[in-house]
Amino acid sequence: MSSRATLTFQHYDCWVCGMPFGLSAGTVKAFVREHTPFHCPKGCRLRFGKSDADVLREQLDTQMAATQRANRRLQDERRSHAGTKGALTKAKRRIAAGVCPCCSRSFKQLRRHMQSQHPEYLED
């Protein structure tokens, strides 16, 4: 008694050139599941499901969305940096003018000390 495996083919016509060809059911399932491109007997590049243009369009859309998110984060960081820089400048000016950063009292000696010993303190 011999055991034979039967292989059945599904009939297709190339959607580019019209050439008839056959594919096994397992092969078709793999091509559909993985969106793997293949070629008809004449060499036309085919794909079940999404076309190459659709796949590239999706990749482009994904990259554009990622770029937009990165740009928004960059703008947020720039605004945050500007706010921090402004607060630092304000604090430095108050200290240079002789105002204690902790208790907000003014000290003439501190103001004179900053002007005579550290004139570059506010140049940044």
Is the residue at 122 inside a domain? no
Structural domain includes residue 104? no
Helix (H) or strand (E) holding 80: helix 52-96
**Per-residue pLDDT at 14:** 93
Encoded tokens for 67: 């770029």
- Mean pLDDT, contiguous 10-residue spans, the chain (124 residues): 76 93 91 88 88 87 98 97 94 88 83 85 70
Contact call for residues 63 and 73 (beta carbons, < 8 A): no
Is there a domain that residue 34 lies in? yes
Count up the domains in the chain and report the number.
1
Q: What is the pLDDT of residue 82?
A: 95
Could you tell me if residue 15 is inside a domain? Answer: yes
Parent domain of 22: 7-49
Residue at 23 is within a domain:
yes
